[in-house]
Amino acid sequence: MEILMVTGLLAYIMNYIIGKNKNSRLAHAWFNSHRELLESNFALVGDDGTSKEPVSTGKLNQENEHIYNLWCSGRVCCEGMLIQLKFLKRQDLLNVLARMMRPLCWLTLNEEDMDTFVFSVGTKKAMAKLQKEMQDLSEFCGDKPKSGAKYGLPDSLAILSEMGEVTDGVMDNKMVHYITNHADKIESIHFSDQFSGPKIMQEEGQPLKLPETKKTLLFTFNVPGMGNTSPKDMDSLLPLMNMVIYSIDKVKKLRLNREGKMKADRNRARVEENFLKQTHAQRQEAAQTRREEKKRAEKERIMNEEDPERQRRLEEAAQRREQKKIEKKQMKMKQIKVKAM
């Protein structure tokens, strides 16, 4: 039994060391093949966040044994781009069996450089999952994922779009070329002016204000090799980074026509109205709690007053304020009755 345990431990350690080294080789192979493109498009490549002023380190930031990050900034239209290379947890045998590595590319655009629309394209499975889980896609792309056959996309891919005008605008010849030629490496592409991340789960409680949104482009890719990825496979991802760069400029140029803009504005007003209806009771309850806490604090202040005369004056002032509130409420009710008549 002890021999089996020792053998298993040694296998784990060896797997960890070999896997860690392989992840490092793959990460640096990816960076070496993409570095020239990134440095030609961004003024800063590789800031690690350790300095007060942004500094271009020109290298990946290793978060742990299987995650490498790269922050790029200094480009028109774009506040910044975070690239995350998430490799296999090779010390985790179950994860290795999953055999899937998915690089993530996350761009935040300047407020003025993206119109009001939500759009996504990717595998059918990814689209169904994202529509269910992501706040913006569930709110603004209510229809089921649609086939991209109209644009010449393979059957494996589907589209979620706020409106047809957006799909026609995004899916130009060059974008279709990128997607069709690299469909096997694309998990999902997500453009949104209303991006706020995943939905808030029911058990986490209903927020009392709408989530903060960012104009975002989000790309998730599948790396070839199914867990047996080689450094050469990382070179095959370079056209996808060209697509990312192209998408930044594409989105900046894409502007809705008058009817499309009005529809987008109505959609956002509808979402806000629905949210306010859903949270009305919670906001009333929160306001009542604040009033009670304020009243309790005032009562404690009066009770803690050592001067009897001052305590009496404070009590009388509190009673007068309460009486004014009651009279104001009664007056309002009378006005409502008169209007109803």
* Nearest-angstrom CA–CA distance, 216 and 118: 10
- Please tell me the pTM assigned to this model: 0.78
Give the C-alpha distances (Å, rounded to integers) separating 310 from 88, 262, 298. Answer: 71, 61, 14
Q: Where are the domains of the chain?
A: 2-256, 271-340
Res 332: pLDDT: 66
* Nearest-angstrom CA–CA distance, 285 and 291: 10
Q: Sort residue 205 into left (φ over 0), alpha (ψ -120 to 50) or beta.
A: left
Q: Could you report the average pLDDT of every consecutive run of 10 residues in the chain (341 residues)? A: 61 58 85 94 85 80 88 91 83 50 90 96 97 96 93 96 96 97 96 93 64 95 76 88 97 96 96 83 70 76 73 75 72 62 54
Query: 89 Cβ partners below 8 Å, 6+ apart?
Result: 19, 65, 66, 95, 96
User: Looking at residue 182, what DSSP letter applies?
Assistant: T
Res 98: pLDDT: 46
Give the C-alpha distances (Å, rounded to integers) separating 150 from 64, 203, 271. Answer: 43, 41, 29
* Nearest-angstrom CA–CA distance, 255 and 250: 10
Res 337: pLDDT: 58
- E-state strands within 24-92: 44-45, 61-62, 67-73, 78-86
* Cβ–Cβ < 8 Å for 107, 80: yes
The phi, psi pair for 212, rounded to 5°, reads: -70, 135
Longest CA span, the chain: 92
**Chain centroid, CA 93 distance in Å:** 30
Res 131: pLDDT: 97
Helices 238-253 and 2-41 meet at what angle, rounded to 10? 50
